[in-house]
Amino acid sequence: MSSERIAILGPKGTFSEEAALRFNPDLERAAYSSIEEVFDAVRGGAARYGVVPVENSLEGSVSATLELLLKSDIQICREIVLDITHCLMALPGTGIQEIEEVISHPHALAQCRGFLKTLPGVKTRNFPSTAEAAREIASKGLSKTAAIGSRIAADLYGLSILEEGVEDEERNQTRFFVLSKECPEKSGQIKTSIVIAVRDRPGALYEILGYFARGGVNLTKIESRPTKKSLGDYIFYIDFLGDAGDERIRGILEKVAGLTTFFKVLGSYSTG
């Protein structure tokens, strides 16, 4: 039943699965091969919840997640932040000097650029997920290929860890969203995410931000992204502390909506 399942970016052993376990370890986890498929599983009822990465402290936002949130009718229910430790892994008995190629998700490879430069002549190749890269090595017996991923993935697919902590920065974190059409009751600190398009006139964005400032609302993130309609045409993703259902916040959002050409609440959700 969909009510008992949570869709994750698979296969098993991804950081998305770790986030799902943090959210609710009792839910059945169903692995999908892309972020879009996770959205589709929730939208179509194959899973009650979905977990997707949205932002990394080193590499920034995950474009696919933001674009799908813009078009989707499902809500953000929870924010989960994981400390990310990347491991270089290979088949048992493989030495690091034998590695000719390193494979992983493009974000993981980017988070380990400095380390990869210490492996002269080694090529890199993108995979849909870190765990998919680990599984590829194990299933095909790739003796001269290493993967970058989690310790869980190494254990799951029987690979040896050649080096741990290969990310460029010690404070490497990834933010995940839990998605659903029907969110559970919120508790603790609440955050809200919205997306807007502003009118093409001087001071439009400044005026919108002023409503939040005068209302004492703490903005935790604002990011512009192209609409892909024309050069110079942007939308803005805004995160702030507070619940869109609260009377004070609702009043601010009504004023903000009146100054925009597009306005959408992506969700009000618990953090942590």
Amino acid symbol at 143: S
How far apart are alpha carbons 127 and 96 in whole angstroms? 20
C-alpha atoms less than 13 angstroms from C-alpha of 218 in its C-beta half-sphere: 6
Question: What is the per-residue pLDDT for 1?
Answer: 40
Going across the sheet that includes 123-126, the strands are: 123-126, 101-104, 145-149, 87-90, 160-164
- Triad 231, 236, 241: Cα angle to 5°: 170
Residue showing tokens 């110079």 = 232
Give pLDDT tens digits for 91-135.
Answer: 999 999 999 999 999 989 998 999 999 998 999 999 988 999 999
How far apart are alpha carbons 28 and 143 in whole angstroms? 33
Region(s) of the chain under CATH 3.40.190.10: 2-84+172-180, 87-164
- CATH top class, domain 190-270: alpha beta
Residue showing tokens 């972020």 = 35
The third-level CATH classification (topology) of the domain covering 2-84+172-180 is D-Maltodextrin-Binding Protein; domain 2 (3.40.190)
How far apart are alpha carbons 232 and 243 in whole angstroms? 31
Residues of the chain with pLDDT under 50: 1-2
Question: What is the per-residue pLDDT for 2?
Answer: 47
> Which H or E run includes 203?
none
Instruction: Identify the CA nearest to 8 among candidates 52, 68, 67.
Output: 52
How far apart are alpha carbons 228 and 234 in whole angstroms? 8
CA distances to 47, 68, 139 from 39, rounded to whole Å, are: 9, 8, 28
Question: What is the per-residue pLDDT for 231?
Answer: 64
One-character DSSP codes across 41-69: HHHHTS-SEEEEEEEETTTEE-HHHHHHH
Question: What is the per-residue pLDDT for 55?
Answer: 92
How far apart are alpha carbons 53 and 6 in whole angstroms? 14
Residue showing tokens 């024309």 = 230
Region(s) of the chain under CATH 3.30.70.260: 190-270
Contact assessment for residue 211 and residue 253, using Cβ atoms and an 8 Å cutoff: no
Give pLDDT tens digits for 91-103.
Answer: 999 999 999 999 9
The catalytic site residues sit at 174, 176
Question: What is the per-residue pLDDT for 232?
Answer: 62
Number of CB atoms found within 10 A of residue 179's CB: 31
| Residues whose CB is less than 8 angstroms from the CB of residue 196 and which lie 6 or more positions away in sequence, other chains included | 208, 235, 236, 238, 256, 260, 262, 263, 264
> For the domain 87-164, what is the CATH code?
3.40.190.10
